[in-house]
């Protein structure tokens, strides 16, 4: 999935959580690690990242 950081931050409800999933992990053509997603989003965010099978996921929450 492509990341549209400003639009994602705009439509996410207060207290909402963004789930970022990389279906094929770092081997996927659109792979973005959680740190890159956090850096692209406006404001301050916290991420929890893990792997599942050959993919990876991250739960991101705005902190301010």
For residue range 5-56, list pLDDT tens digits in order: 999 999 999 999 999 999 888 888 888 899 999 999 999 999 999 988 889 9
At residue 42, the pLDDT reads 95
At residue 54, the pLDDT reads 87
Q: What is the 3-state secondary structure (H, E, C) of 14-64?
A: CCCEEEEEECCHHHCCCCCCHHHHHHHCCCCEEEEEEEECCEEEEEEEECC
Domain ranges of the chain: 5-62
Which residues, 6 or more positions from 48, have their beta carbon under 8 angstroms from its beta carbon?
Answer: 34, 58, 59
Global confidence as pTM: 0.83
Q: In the chain, what percentage of residues exceed pLDDT 70?
A: 98
At residue 1, the pLDDT reads 64
């Amino acid at each position: 999935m492509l990341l549209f950081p400003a639009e994602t931050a705009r439509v996410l409800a207060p207290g909402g959580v963004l789930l970022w999933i990389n279906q094929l992990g770092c081997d996927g053509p659109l792979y973005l690690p959680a740190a890159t997603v956090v850096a692209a989003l406006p404001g301050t965010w916290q991420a929890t990242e893990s792997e599942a099978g050959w993919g990876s996921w991250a739960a991101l929450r705005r902190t301010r």
